[in-house]
Amino acid sequence: MSDITSELHKYLEEKNINAIFLSIVEEILHNKPENPIGFMVNFILEKYPEETKGFGKQQLQERTKAPSFVSTEVSSNDDIGETDSECSSVNTIESDDASSLLCDELSISEKSPVQKKRRESVCAEQLTEVTVAESELKVIEKSETEAARILYILKNNVFFNHLDEYQMKTVQDVMFCVERTDGDVIIKQGDDGDNFYCIDNGIVEIFIDSPKTGERNLVRTCGDGDAFGELAIMYNAPRAASCIAKGNVRLWALDRVSFNVILMKTTIAKRKSTVDILLNIPVFCLLTEFELNTIADTLQEAIFEDGTVICKQGDRGDKFYLVHQGTAVCTKSVADGTSVEVARLSTGAYFGEIALLTKQPRQATVTADGSLKCFSLDRRTFNRVMGPLREMLMRSIDEYAKSDAQ
Amino acid sequence: MDPLALEYSSIADFDVGVTLGTGSFGRVRFATHIKTKEHFAVKILRKVDLIKFRQVEHVKSEKAILHALSQDQHPFIVNMAASFQDPCYIYMVMECVIGGEFFSHLKNARRFTNLTARFFAAQVVLIFEHLHAKDIIYRDLKPENLLLDKDGYLKITDFGFAKIVSFKTYTLCGTPEYIAPEVLLNKGHGKGVDWWTLGILIYEMLAGDPPFVDEDPVGIYRKILTGKVHFPRTYDDYAKSLTKKLLTADLTKRYGCMKRGASDIKRCNWLVETKWEALLKRDLDTPIKPELSSITDTSNFEEYPEEIDIAKPPIYDGPDPFENI
């Protein structure tokens, strides 16, 4: 290596030039700014405040006429705080007017009309509760390992991983086997989409035909465990690509109607059975149907292993539980320090509902006996969504009294 | 019978003018009622296409909802004056909103200033509050479905996906970039979807593009379900706080969906200074004033080729599903 090259290398390494350029390129690609030069200037000023001190940020920004676009990332799924402290997290920032002024200036200086297209609406076929209740689902027998492979694929797919255990199993049950040989077209670009596929084994190549040139381009090669055609489980849209078997392929397919029927059926059944239980609980029985449905949909699944203590006598409770599957044991400690079993709770039983009403200590200790599945709801969530239960009860009692008086 | 209703009973009562907008099933045209010289926008839908694309139920529901809503004459809703049909078309005679499509105004501006975005967001809050009080969910908010009136106030149009729902409904519908996660997950959705779409609209007004974009819808849906939102630096902090609270997948935390309903949104830092009553009375200064030479000046609308459906569409040869609407 010549002296000059090694000197350059040394310099690049010492000053960390590669990393700096990489971060600039990354940020540019991420934001795709209209004005890349101005964007880079702002990016450097913001990322390296120490190094760029005295470069006159304001003047530079005005001269380059570009907004600073260093993105800040948030996840909308994050817990973003309780409503009670609404917006308090942003109270520390400069006043609304001051910040809006800055933004107004920046966006005005940056007008550059781009070609935006009108976006079309999409819509699935309508399923009524009646058709759903009447439709029969065809269960396809599978070996244990086949079923496990399907479940694994579904659990790792963002369109399915939200399903609960029962829904997952039901979806797996109705998936049917499709076998294809080399060159077979599984999906043809432009056709109606009915099925979603996952590959049990084999290779599938995905091609897109350019509408202009008619040229066919390979865009992706899928193998065991990969999935394609997800859009078809949501609504009917023309297929965006063609999928062709390379060698022998074994696939599992799921059709949109079955998928939607399963989800709607299980969701409605689960809500109904939960509401039926809630109706038998004194603190809930006077609430309206809408309120009960809302509570049912707000309940969270909670799974406990054998021996887990769910709540402890004397502790301040803040959660209400419904037993969904399994058994829980209630014990109370007696004078001599030992504890005695006072009840066993199974499917449909409930405990801790008083916690939604007051901060009273728990009356007993509840422990999972074997694996236990519950639905639970904490007081904060309850208050946020429904308002205080105490007020709801007062209202119900008032209404009850009124109707009784008439 | 209302004597006026009689006179609005056929397209022959109108002088039909230029196209103001087009859709998958027909178009909207400027029209003047011959007798009264009143101006309207007539939505003309082709029956064959509605049947082919299974939109019959949606159109029936749209008509029923517009009919019910028009009794209130809400200032931010495009009200319907009459509707009728012939063997080929369904006609809905709508009030004429002359300031142009909100979509075009946003496109030309690239993005709105914080104050402008806030002004429009506040009107959408009032619209949804009104609809939800009547158990109507709208389900298709986007710049394409908003118009500006002569003074620069918003009017929402296209109630094709609107539905009367007391608790939850199940059919996936909307516009890919605007669909809420619970709609994609197919587990039933309610009024909360409208508040999600408001979050997307605020983002699109301030950033110029919606938060979840991709070349194909599956890519958009993946991003929606993953839920990561990147905010440009220029995005106002209070606006960002509200946007995050609207784009919250957890329905027990999304603003608009909790006990206090829309008032959580109306009282957030970004919107708290809004003069809600004055806004509803259209008593405020508007940030965008459409340039109009007269009340019949349609220059704020884009130009559409007119010749396309001069040929009458074929009459559907089966029984007319619209017979009794």
Annotated binding-site residue numbers of B:
43
Nearest to B263 by CA among B133, B139, B145, B135: B133
Q: What is the ipTM of this complex?
A: 0.89
Strands (E), B10-117: 14-22, 26-33, 39-46, 80-85, 89-95
Contact criterion met (CB below 8 Å) for A352 and A311: yes
pLDDT of residue A214: 83
Q: Which residues of B touch A71 (CB under 8 A)?
A: 230-233
| Interatomic CA distance for residues A231 and B218, integer angstroms | 6
What pLDDT was estimated at residue B308? 55
- Domain borders along chain B are 3-95, 102-280
Query: What is the pLDDT at residue A107?
Result: 38
Q: What is the pLDDT of residue B312?
A: 67
Indicate yes or no: CB of A118 within 8 angstroms of CB of B144: yes
What was the pLDDT predicted at A2? Answer: 62
For chain A positions 63-82, those within 8 Å of chain B (CB to CB) are 67-77, 79-80
Burial class of residue A81, CB neighbours in 10 A (0-12, 13-18, 19+): middle
* Chain B hits for A268, Cβ within 8 Å: 188
Closest approach of A47 to chain B, Cα-based (Å): 13
Same fold, A130-261 and A280-405: yes
CATH number assigned to the domain covering B102-280: 1.10.510.10
For the domain spanning A280-405, the CATH number is 2.60.120.10
pLDDT of residue B307: 57
| Domain ranges across chain A | 9-73, 130-261, 280-405
Question: Looking at residue A63, what is its pLDDT?
Answer: 40
Q: Give me the residues of chain B with pLDDT under 50, please.
A: 1-4, 6
Q: Given this structure, which CATH class describes domain A130-261?
A: mainly beta
pLDDT of residue B53: 80
Query: Which chain B residues are Cβ-neighbours of A126 within 8 angstroms?
Result: 54, 57, 171
Long-range contacts of the stretch B289-292 (C-beta < 8 A, 24+): B289/B151, B289/B152, B290/B98, B290/B99, B290/B100, B290/B148, B290/B150, B290/B152, B292/B98, B292/B99, B292/B150
pLDDT of residue A11: 82
- Whether residues A71 and B232 touch (CB distance < 8 A) is answered with yes
Parts of chain A with a pLDDT under 50: 56-114
Cα–Cα distance list, A109 to A63, A71, A101, B12, B234 (Å): 10, 19, 13, 50, 12
**Annotated catalytic, B285?**
no
Q: Please, what is the average pLDDT of chain A?
A: 81
Q: What CATH superfamily classification does B3-95 receive? A: Phosphorylase Kinase; domain 1 (3.30.200.20)
